Structure 1
Amino acid sequence: MSDVSCSLPHAHSEQCHFQIAWTINPHMVPGSSDLEIAFTQHLNFKQLLRDAGAEVVELPFVCSAYDSVFTKDNALLLSSAGPASSVKPGASQLAVLANPLHGVRRAEQAGRKKALLSRGFSVVELPPQFKLEGGDLVVCAGHGIFMGHGFRSTLESAHALEVRIGVSVLPLKLVDPFLYHLDTALSVLKDGTAIACKRAFAPKSWELLVRSPWISKVIEVSEREALSFGCNLVQVGKTVILGSFLPGLMRSLKLQGYTPRYAPLSEFQRAGGSAACLVAEVHDHEALRSHAAGERSHATRESGLAGHTETLGLVTTSPTAARRSTSEYA
């Protein structure tokens, strides 16, 4: 998770905190969030994560990047030591840095890269033509990654990601601008249960999703529930944390054996994000790669980029090589 405000002293430090200062999605109305309420909601959400058993690591707020509180958008985090919420000593940790579409989000990435390097991650950067945002990535544990495209991430990025991390990536086209990131329209629980809004997807992509062997069951949410960020949830063990109170979805989760918990996140939802956006989970890389070894590439088939891996221009920075530049975050 990210801090909600900047900890570095500077001329405008009192104003350097989460706020809605621009409009890059249909939910955003500049000036509409309440900082005091946002602080309280963030604190309560963080405590609920810990109560559920998550190990929460806080990254610094990126100076003047007001959306940097949404840490999931910044990078895909992977570990060779299995699923975790933080770096494990001796484990191989990989962060695939996002290439955001909007300049106000790209401004976060240098600071996030430094913070991740200081935590022991090797950082992979895709070339700028491959637009990729963490909010468009939904990991299906032990299987692969669903990648949304249509508003922020580009279809070609699926193949670039698949080549670099050796994990199956299945692109899904999004069609509703209010559900602009895949994680606003889809969540996949660890048992393969998909929480999804049909309206958000192109018809072919919806069929690919519901017929995917990665999915064991689909709980279809209404448009109202999706627009209330019902799909943008966080799972910790058998606990599922929602940023909105949605009785119908909560009943469905209980029937599946889960314990739904409600952590109000209204101030962050005004900016277009909720529970999932605020958390960058570390995923089990080895389990994902093992499954991919037996599958034909989804991304290559969809994007038509087979045979072009030599042109991807990937860059990797190791924690050791970047140690000097990350000292302020150590």
Structure 2
Amino acid sequence: MSPAAPDDRDPPHMRTARARHYLMCRPTYFDVVYSINPWMDPAKPVDTPLAIAQWERLREVYLSLGHTVDTIDPVPSLPDMVFAANGATVVDGRALVARFRDAERIAEGPAYHNWLRDNGFPELRTASFVNEGEGDYLLAGDWLLAGTGFRSDPRSHDEAQEYFGRPVIGLTLVDPDYYHLDTALTVLDEKTVAYYPAAFSPGSRSVLERLFPDALLATPADAEVFGLNATSDGYNVVLPQNATELAAQLRERGFNPIGVDLSELLKAGGSVKCCTLELRRDA
């Protein structure tokens, strides 16, 4: 019998989950009473108890996956404080606290600063330029992917690079519906991202194509339901449940998509990642 022909197909993708440490803020005072992005319409009713229930479900998912979830106390006058990702960027145990663009959110920065100071992050500072935390800063391996175009000031990119000592890759957003980087791109593991090409300038698309030639590309339908506003532990990807095509792509690539319903929080332009600040202590 002749030897079998070698199988030249790619082996199955082996993904490894890594326990994460997250900070979240219960949406006790969630409401839409002003408009600072295209998703917010104060004329539409908000069901705060439903928002709380959906948030609680997200927290339960994280805990069931073995992640650590700390919570920061919500402040009555800050309805968007639930979007903890915007509060800071935390890398290698160092925290760069957000400086918000809009007056309605400015007080969130000191609240997150105080929590981080009181909970084991002595190396911290508040950004000098507008910088909306992990809304616009996403760690991908050794790089910090940094969004600009609508919120974070491009000068904040140099500031973050000097503070963290990691290369910062600037990416320009061009569609106001995707006003933060975390609405248009998600980091799946150190070498893999998913993103929505139409949200980026031509030059930034070219950068992403060079850095991540094997990236997953989201469809317009999945982008519109904030499918890219997701979190990943390297294997489990928590994302909005309506992002069905992206979920199928993730399964094909060896990830485990877990859909959740955060439709009430989407009324303020936020979803899974917006509710989740990662606290990275180790280099």
Q: What TM-score, normalized to structure 1?
A: 0.75
User: Which residue identity lines up with residue 40 of structure 1 in the other structure?
Assistant: A
Q: How does 1:182-221 map to 2 (within 5 A)?
A: 182-212=181-211, 215=212, 217-221=214-218
Report the Cα distance in structure 2 between the residues aligned to 1:145 and 1:171, rounded to whole angstroms. Answer: 9
Report the Cα distance in structure 2 between the residues aligned to 1:32 and 1:185, rounded to whole angstroms. Answer: 26
Q: Is the 8 A contact 2:187 2:231 kept in 1?
A: no
Q: Is the 8 A contact 1:99 1:106 kept in 2?
A: yes
Q: Is the 8 A contact 1:20 1:66 kept in 2?
A: yes
Deviations 1:136-158 (CA, angstroms, capped at 9, x unpaired) = 111103x2111010100111110
Question: What's the C-alpha RMSD, in Å, of the aligned pairs?
Answer: 1.4
Question: Is structure 2 residue 258 aligned with structure 1 residue 254?
Answer: no
Q: How does 1:289-308 map to 2 (within 5 A)?
A: none
SS in 2 for 1:189: strand
Q: How does 1:211-290 map to 2 (within 5 A)?
A: 211-212=210-211, 215=212, 217-283=214-280, 286=283
Deviations 1:60-91 (CA, angstroms, capped at 9, x unpaired) = 11231110010110100123xxxxxxxxxxxx
| Equivalent of residue 4 in structure 1, options 13, 27, 42 | 27
Counterpart for residue 165 of structure 2: 166
Q: How does 1:22-101 map to 2 (within 5 A)?
A: 22-30=34-42, 31-79=44-92, 93-101=93-101
SS in 2 for 1:211: helix
Shift of 1:185: 0.3
Query: Structure 2, unaligned stretches of length 5 or more?
Result: 1-23
Counterpart for residue 113 of structure 1: 113
Deviations 1:78-122 (CA, angstroms, capped at 9, x unpaired) = 23xxxxxxxxxxxxx321001111011112111221111111112
Counterpart for residue 179 of structure 2: 180
Q: What TM-score, normalized to structure 2?
A: 0.87
Report the Cα distance in structure 2 between the residues aligned to 1:225 and 1:268, rounded to whole angstroms. Answer: 17
Report the Cα distance in structure 2 between the residues aligned to 1:3 and 1:140, rounded to whole angstroms. Answer: 27
Residues 98 and 181 of structure 1: CA distance in aligned 2, closer, same or farther (over 3 Å) = same
Counterpart for residue 20 of structure 2: none
User: Which residue identity lines up with residue 239 of structure 1 in the other structure?
Assistant: N
Counterpart for residue 9 of structure 1: none
Q: Which moved more, 1:194-203 or 1:275-284?
A: 275-284
Shift of 1:126: 2.4
Report the Cα distance in structure 2 between the residues aligned to 1:248 and 1:97, rounded to whole angstroms. Answer: 35
Report the Cα distance in structure 1 between the residues aligned to 2:110 and 2:125, rounded to whole angstroms. Answer: 13
Q: Is the 8 A contact 1:52 1:236 kept in 2?
A: no
Shift of 1:196: 0.4
Q: Is the 8 A contact 1:62 1:112 kept in 2?
A: no
Query: Structure 1, unaligned stretches of length 5 or more?
Result: 6-16, 80-92, 287-330
Shift of 1:56: 0.8
User: Which residue identity lines up with residue 19 of structure 1 in the other structure?
Assistant: D
Report the Cα distance in structure 2 between the residues aligned to 1:207 and 1:284, rounded to whole angstroms. Answer: 32
SS in 2 for 1:178: coil
Report the Cα distance in structure 2 between the residues aligned to 1:196 and 1:109, rounded to whole angstroms. Answer: 28
User: Which residue identity lines up with residue 276 of structure 1 in the other structure?
Assistant: K
Report the Cα distance in structure 2 between the residues aligned to 1:94 and 1:191, rounded to whole angstroms. Answer: 19
Report the Cα distance in structure 2 between the residues aligned to 1:284 and 1:112, rounded to whole angstroms. Answer: 16
Report the Cα distance in structure 1 between the residues aligned to 2:37 and 2:241, rounded to whole angstroms. Answer: 19
User: Which residue identity lines up with residue 100 of structure 1 in the other structure?
Assistant: F
SS in 2 for 1:95: strand
SS in 2 for 1:138: strand
Q: Is the 8 A contact 1:229 1:244 kept in 2?
A: no
- Runs of 4+, deviation exceeding 4 Å: none
Q: Is the 8 A contact 2:188 2:233 kept in 1?
A: no
User: Which residue identity lines up with residue 113 of structure 2 in the other structure?
Assistant: K
Shift of 1:284: 5.9
